[in-house]
A and B are shown apart, each in its own frame.
Chain A
Amino acid sequence: MSQLRKGALEYCVLALLRDGERYGFELVRALSQPDGLLVSEGTIYPLLSRLRRDELVSTSWQESESGPPRRYYRLTGAGKRALADFGEEWARFRDAVDALMTTPRS
């Protein structure tokens, strides 16, 4: 289960960036809102740095009006493609699993 969650989580991060850039804390809080997606907030940061290393997201420091500068994340071209691919794959996967889970065995 934790592997499944971990695998899907990185695409949830990419999905949150679909409509524009966000900073780390914003991403973490958005991911911790729905129940059952995130176990602990801190583990998102290693995930973010891996996405950066894989060049699925890029980052930039921006000033904030009320405090130290924030590191903003945005999707790269490769990130957009990875998200689109996963979207299709996920829909098929989910339907297949749902079908098996809900079909009564005879």
Chain B
Amino acid sequence: MTETEKEKAMDVGTDPLVDDYLRRLGSAASALPEHRRDELVSEIREHLQEALRQTPADDQAAVRNALERLGTPEEIAAAAVETEPHDQGDAVFERTNALAVASVVSAVLWLAGIGAVFALVFGYRAHRQIKDSAGAQAGAGLAVAGIVLGWIGVAVLVAGLVLIAVHPNKAH
């Protein structure tokens, strides 16, 4: 989030008081993950843009009043840190999706047989669960690996069956 993003808003983008306030907010919110911090700062900037929409550019009293109503940057940052699901911006703990692991294990254990089918079923399910978890679950790579191995397994199985059908004698 940079100043250039809101170039058109002449008052807020260039006002030194606002600038200083947003800078303080950014550093007070340093415990937040970066995208949350950027989002918070741009929301407050948008708020100020609305609040000062009708005010002349040099009306410092109006700017001060709008900033006062907002509260201190530290107050806002503290409220934001408090509402974060993982307190103090701790690294998000991702749990590896169990079905993704099951998918790869099935594929490896019995590549040319029923394991391949399990690998596909588990793999696709895991993939969907991980997607739905919106970042809370890890293992997307594993799920894809399980799916790929599963399809390879199915291909080998089909090739084997075709070979047996074409050369029934050589299969024994």
A residues near B (Cβ < 8 Å) are: 23-25, 28, 32, 39-43, 45-50, 53, 66-68, 70-71
Whole-angstrom distance from the CB of B118 to the nearest CB of chain A? Answer: 33
Query: Are A42 and B9 CB-contacts (below 8 A) given A25-B51, A49-B83, A53-B85?
Result: no
B residues near A (Cβ < 8 Å) are: 6, 8-9, 36, 39-40, 43-44, 46-47, 49-51, 53, 69-73, 75-76, 79-80, 82-83, 85
- A28 and B47 contacting across the interface, CB-CB below 8 Å: yes
- A32 and B69 contacting across the interface, CB-CB below 8 Å: yes
CA distance A32 to B39 in the complex (A): 22
In the complex, 27 of the A-B residue pairs with CB atoms within 8 angstroms, ordered by the A residue number, are A23-B50, A24-B43, A24-B46, A24-B47, A25-B46, A32-B69, A40-B69, A40-B70, A40-B76, A41-B47, A41-B69, A42-B73, A42-B75, A42-B76, A42-B79, A43-B76, A45-B43, A45-B47, A45-B76, A45-B80, A46-B40, A46-B76, A46-B83, A49-B43, A66-B53, A67-B8, A68-B6
12 additional contacts, CB 8 Å, given A40-B70, A45-B40?
A24-B50, A25-B51, A32-B69, A39-B71, A42-B70, A43-B76, A46-B76, A46-B82, A49-B83, A68-B6, A68-B46, A68-B49
Whole-angstrom distance from the CB of A47 to the nearest CB of chain B? Answer: 7
A-side binding surface: helix, strand, loop or mixed?
helix
Query: Are A42 and B49 CB-contacts (below 8 A) given A49-B40, A68-B6?
Result: no
Whole-angstrom distance from the CB of A82 to the nearest CB of chain B? Answer: 16
B-side binding surface: helix, strand, loop or mixed?
helix
Whole-angstrom distance from the CB of B106 to the nearest CB of chain A? Answer: 34
**Among A23, A24, A42: residue with most chain B CB under 10 A:** A42
Query: Are A47 and B70 CB-contacts (below 8 A) given A40-B75, A42-B47?
Result: no
Residues of A close to B44: CB separation below 8 A? 42, 45
CA distance A3 to B44 in the complex (A): 23
Residues of A close to B69: CB separation below 8 A? 32, 40-41
- A47 and B71 contacting across the interface, CB-CB below 8 Å: no
CA distance A24 to B8 in the complex (A): 20
CA distance A94 to B39 in the complex (A): 36
Whole-angstrom distance from the CB of B79 to the nearest CB of chain A? Answer: 4
